[in-house]
Chain A
């Protein structure tokens, strides 16, 4: 009877520590990847928004006059 309990605890400990290890590794790698992706995408996103709004998102200068005289 003692043996069965012992086995269950052992299996649970092994399963949980594997899951924890995988989670933490995935979290670490995911953060690094996400940071890199963010760095790559930020200029594109900023440019897109600037073009949509017609003015620079960071400094606020307008690209074109609405009359089309540039």
Chain B
């Protein structure tokens, strides 16, 4: 039962994260000629995302928030140009605030796990993008760390997340391709 709960939360939150990511990266997806669900639904996407989020919050609010905040922080951390965000803070300041809030409000171990596994997925995604896509985001991790650094950091984050909870790590690793396949048909 525990495993099923974890799977549902990870799958639903994964959908939410991927939808948000697609929403923010619409231009690059259009350039690459990809067909994402977000491009088809346009404005209709927001209510669905929120509803999905409430479903997974009902099952396990802490894991949901952990995963979502972690993905937010990892995604933010990439934006290192020092641009001001809508909150009036710079990206790295927002990252620090969110990290602080996370460690105060959430289960520390769960939060570290979420950060590690999200970093792993992000790095993997960047690595794949680097080889498959014609146009990549400028803030692809490979541009900062190099190929070797990206591989090493992804192994490191995988080991950390496996060390904290190998069951959940495995669930995330299997849920991610399903989510991507569902949204990019």
Contacts and interface: CB of A to CB of B under 8 A. Distances in A.
A64 interface: no
B163 A16 contact: no
A23 B155 CA distance: 14
Interface stretch (B35-43, B47-55, B76-84, B145-153): B145-153
B7 to A, nearest CB: 23
Contacts of A29: none
Nearest to A20: B152
Contact of A20 (B153, B160, B162, B163): B153
Contacts of B153: 20
A16 B148 contact: no
* Chain B contact patch, size range: 10 to 19
Interface string B142-172: 0001101100110110011011000000000
A46 B55 CA distance: 65
Contacts of B146: 23, 27
B168 to A, nearest CB: 15
Nearest to B166: A5
Contacts of B149: 20, 23-24, 27
Contacts of A12: 159
A16 B162 contact: no
Interface of B: 145-146, 148-149, 152-153, 155-156, 159-160, 162-163
25 contacts: A5-B163, A6-B163, A9-B159, A9-B162, A12-B159, A13-B156, A13-B159, A13-B163, A16-B152, A16-B155, A16-B156, A16-B159, A17-B156, A19-B152, A20-B149, A20-B156, A23-B148, A23-B149, A23-B152, A24-B145, A24-B149, A27-B145, A27-B146, A27-B148, A27-B149
Given A5-B163, A23-B146, A24-B145, 9 more contacts: A9-B159, A9-B163, A12-B159, A13-B159, A20-B149, A20-B152, A20-B153, A20-B156, A23-B149
Interface of A: 5-6, 9, 12-13, 16-17, 19-20, 23-24, 27
